[in-house]
Amino acid sequence: MANIKYEIKETVGTISENNKGWSKELNLISWNNREAKYDLRDWSSEHEKMGKGVTLTKDELIKLKEILNSMDI
């Protein structure tokens, strides 16, 4: 991760938090000064360390919303 620059442009929401202080968050993040993308990922407290995650475009987020709304959850 050493040479990846990122900036959290917007914290959209926190999905969960575990007992070690890590939280799963949806953020809007700019990676290496590129256009910001939505990003679903685990973070340690204060965003010091990041876990694995996925980045999503706005179109993908809309599609994900449709899928979730069609599920029986």
1 near a copy of itself, judged by CB under 8 A: no
Query: Among residues 14, 12, 66, 71, which one has the least CA distance to residue 45?
Result: 14
Assess 4 for contact with a copy of itself (CB under 8 A): no
* Binding status of residue 64 toward a copy of itself by CB under 8 A: yes
Under the binding rule (CB under 8 A), the answer on residue 68 touching a copy of itself is yes
Structure tokens at 10: 């917007």
- What is the token pair recorded at 32? 């290496």
SS3 60: helix
Residues that bind a copy of itself (CB under 8 A): 12-13, 15-16, 24, 26, 40-42, 52-54, 56-65, 67-71, 73
